[in-house]
Structure 1
Amino acid sequence: MLLRVLVLLLVAGCSYIAGVMTEVSSNTEMDAESKVKSAVEDFLIYPSTATYKNVKYHVLNQNEEGDETGYYCGEVFGFEDGLPYGYKRFIVRLHKNAEGKTIVSIPLVEKVDDIVPVEQFDPIWERYCNR
């Protein structure tokens, strides 16, 4: 009985380690803008009602290996206290490597969960989005 339990724990442990070591590939069919919108929707109270306007990509830098870093800036329709609030600005940093794999940062959305106060959001918006 003890041997069975030890074998079961060994198999479970090996399965866990193999699962952790396996790289889960991201959906490569999803373009960068769709990934950004999906990330922004994760921070909204009602993500199914999200509508976007003025979504633009601003390249920050590129290197000779083909890596690129930039910012998606735009506005998304949001709610506050369960009521329609209007459009809120958002900023998302994006890194794209030479193979085309994109990494999206945690979005900064104006007036959502007070992650970034307006007095700090405005200078970031001016620096990366008004180019």
Structure 2
Amino acid sequence: MKLWGYGVIIILALGSAFLLGGMMNQHPRYPLHHLVEQSVKDIMEYPEATSYRNMSSYFAGYTRDNGKIVYVCGEVFRFNENLPDEFKPFIVKAYISADDVVTLSMPVIAFGQRIFTQEQVQKVWDLRCHSLTDMNNSILSINDGVYTNAIDDGLTTEGQDIKKR
């Protein structure tokens, strides 16, 4: 009988630990640019040799479910047939849900004639990667990977209070 009592106590303790661990489980949050770099690196021929420059985020708008659409544009250094090539422009579309879950599109990178040409990428770049939607000047800002909405949070932009709509 004593052995059965100890078994019940052990099962209850393990069950409680499992439930407590599940309630305390937190997913790591990475900055948007880090996620984009990993996404671009995943499709490169030599991922260990990739380097980035001129990365910027551009706010495109809100979705019906209060998610945010952001374009991350930049340049990635790539190799072409085992030889160093040059920095090529890339664009990644990101959806940030109201719960801060980030979903990325496949990166659009100028790979010569194989996938996307330089002209095709430049058209998307001209449409989505310009100063009118620059995240630094937008009401949507990124703080260490935490996405804040100035309208919802009552933050200020350029010294002026933003009124809720």
**Band the TM-score falls in, shorter-chain normalisation:** 0.7 to 0.9
For structure 2, list consecutive stretches of 5 or more residues without a partner in the other structure. 1-26, 132-165
Answer yes or no: is the 8 Å Cα contact 2:53–2:74 preserved in 1: yes
CA distance in 2, matches of 1:28, 1:109: 28
Q: Deviations over 1:29-87 (max 9, x none)?
A: 32221111111001111111111110000000025854100100000111111111111
- Equivalent positions of 1:21-60 (< 5 A) are 28-60=28-60
SS in 1 for 2:86: strand
Residues 111 and 64 from structure 1, CA distance in 2 versus in 1: closer, same or farther, beyond 3 angstroms?
closer
Structure 1 residue ranges, 4+ long, deviating more than 4 angstroms after superposition:
none
For structure 1, list consecutive stretches of 5 or more residues without a partner in the other structure. 1-26
- Equivalent positions of 1:13-92 (< 5 A) are 28-63=28-63, 66-92=66-92
TM-score (normalised: structure 1) = 0.72
Residues 37 and 112 from structure 1, CA distance in 2 versus in 1: closer, same or farther, beyond 3 angstroms?
farther
CA distance in 2, matches of 1:47, 1:83: 14
Q: Deviations over 1:77-107 (max 9, x none)?
A: 1111111111111000000011100000100
SS in 1 for 2:43: coil
Q: Give the number of the structure with larger relative contact order, counting CA–CA contacts within 8 Å between residues 6 or more apart.
A: 1
Structure 1 vs Structure 2: percent identity of aligned residues? Answer: 27
CA distance in 2, matches of 1:106, 1:119: 18
Residue type of the partner of 1:35? L
Post-superposition shift, 1:129?
A: 1.1
TM-score (normalised: structure 2) = 0.58
CA distance in 1, matches of 2:92, 2:64: 23
Residues 28 and 66 from structure 1, CA distance in 2 versus in 1: closer, same or farther, beyond 3 angstroms?
farther
Residue type of the partner of 1:73? C
SS in 2 for 1:33: helix
Equivalenced residue count is 105
Answer yes or no: is the 8 Å Cα contact 2:110–2:116 preserved in 1: yes
